[in-house]
Amino acid sequence: MRKEIISSIIKIQAIILLIMVPTILFAQEEAEATPPKKAEKPVRSPFAASTLIESQSYVVFAKKTLVFDMQHRFGDLNNMAINTDEFDLAGIYGPSNIRMGLTYVVLENFQLGLGTTKNKLLQDLNWKYAILTQTRSGSMPIALTYYGNIVYDASANSNFEDEYTPYKETSRISYFNQLIVGRKFGKNVAVQLMFNYAHFNLIDTINRNPDPTETNYAKDVKHDNFGVGFAGRYKFSPQGSVLLEYEHPLTTPDNIKPNVSFGVEFATSSHAFQIFITTYNSIMYQHNMVYNTKEYNKGGMRLGFNITRNWSF
């Protein structure tokens, strides 16, 4: 009886093998005949740097990339008359603003950064995440990136208190958030739209309304502010490009003016140098968006440059 059971089991196993072997071989042949699907490749170098003139680009570099930024703004393009006390060589000799920052791409498509700015002693923590990346095949036609920061104003306590406003440490803090939608067209043109939001815990009403004696000078002040922007890059040579930016505040008072910037960029695989004319001076995005009173057609333009250097680890 036992031998019969064993014999039956062996026969069943043989039948199963006879059924399975052709199926396995067919599946293997089919797998060998079907090539593996290739990973989608992103478009090549839509922008040479993670920063543009006065904005962020939608680019996030490869994982383990360290980025150093030096951003410099000279004084207003005003007095060019020599042999006078006011001569400042188109603002180059005038008061300047400087920011230095370090950014590291911690994870794929995600970076973290720290920076410090001369005017108002602004200290910033920032981050950027590439939500969508445009592909060469066109399967993803656009890029979508989110940028944000927290800025701490380390200037004197007196800037955050008066007879009506007690000092609070949180009054020093402001926030900025930006959603960037971009696309590269062909080999040489890249454009992007920016949707901006800025929040200040404490509003500087005097800067926003130059006459503090006005009875209702604070009537239009807001803690939350929105804006939009456009930026573009045209690459005219392997290393050279033209840059253009425009940013418009939507919810600030009438005396707050938009940004108009244009310049040129010279870049290699690990270095970018941008020199330009701009109406912004604060460098930090929320301060530019909410407090800028300079106008391009009323002597408000200034020279500036950005230097970006990348290292891959």
Q: Domains plus CATH for the chain?
A: 65-312 (2.40.160.40)
Instruction: Please report the pLDDT score of residue 275 as a whole number.
Output: 97
Q: State residue 149's pLDDT score.
A: 98
Residue 264: CB atoms within 10 A of its CB come to 13
Q: Do the beta carbons of residue 93 and residue 78 sit within 8 Å?
A: no
pTM given for the model? 0.82
Buried b (16+ CB within 10 A) or exposed e, 108-132: ebebebebebebbebbbebebebee
Contact status, residue 220 vs residue 253, Cβ threshold 8 Å: yes
Each residue's pLDDT expressed in tens, for the chain with a length of 313 residues: 555 655 655 555 555 555 555 555 555 655 555 566 667 889 988 999 999 999 999 999 999 999 999 999 998 876 555 556 667 777 787 788 999 999 999 999 999 999 999 999 999 999 999 999 999 998 999 999 999 999 999 998 888 887 777 888 999 999 999 999 999 999 999 999 999 999 999 887 766 665 655 555 555 778 999 999 999 999 999 999 999 999 999 998 888 999 999 999 999 989 999 999 999 999 999 999 999 988 888 778 999 999 999 999 8
pLDDT given at position 221: 74
Q: Rounded to an integer, what distance in angstroms lies between the CA atom of residue 194 and that of residue 235?
A: 21
